[in-house]
Amino acid sequence: MQIGMRIKDSDKLETFLADTSHSAEKAKEKFLKKAGRETAKTVRNHIPRDNSSPRRHAGRVRLADDVRDRLVTDKQFGGKQIRVSGGKPTGTLWHILDKGGYKNRRPTNFMAAAMADVDSKIDPLLDIALGEEFR
Mean pLDDT by 10 residues, the chain (135 residues): 51 65 79 90 84 58 84 86 86 83 77 89 83 68
62 sits in the region (left: phi over 0; alpha: psi -120 to 50; else beta) called beta
pLDDT at position 133 is: 66
Per-domain boundaries in the chain: 29-133
pLDDT at position 1 is: 38
> Which letter, b or e, does each residue of 91-118 get, where b requires 16 or more Cβ atoms within 10 Å of its Cβ?
eebbeebbeeeeeeeeebebbeebeeeb
pLDDT at position 41 is: 92
